[in-house]
Amino acid sequence: MAAALALFRSQLDRVAIWRGQSLTVVVGIDDETVSMVRAIARTTNPTGTLVVLVDSAEGSLARTVRGLGAKVRAVNLAELEAMS
């Protein structure tokens, strides 16, 4: 059940990112950048979409930024082509 829920959430995030008219993107996340994401989430235009690109969308930091309203997308951060 948890795996299905995680897959569904990932797909919903993907659609929200694709449909977003205005994106604010944060590449990578660690303990220190969560506060930056929190500040961005507070000041982002309500019609905009806050996106965080991460190596793994299942980690505790990904859950934290999702709780702040960010959409999380797992990409291979070592490959620049994966982010286009």
**CB-based burial label for 74 (10 Å; 0-12, 13-18, 19+):** middle
Question: pTM value?
Answer: 0.81
CATH number of the domain within which 55 lies? 3.40.50
- Residue 38's pLDDT is 95
Per-residue pLDDT at 7 exceeds 70: no
Domain count, the chain: 1
Q: How confident is the model over 10-37, as pLDDT tens digits?
A: 888 888 888 888 999 999 999 999 999 9
Q: Which domain holds residue 75?
A: 2-83
Q: Residue holding tokens 């929200």? A: 16
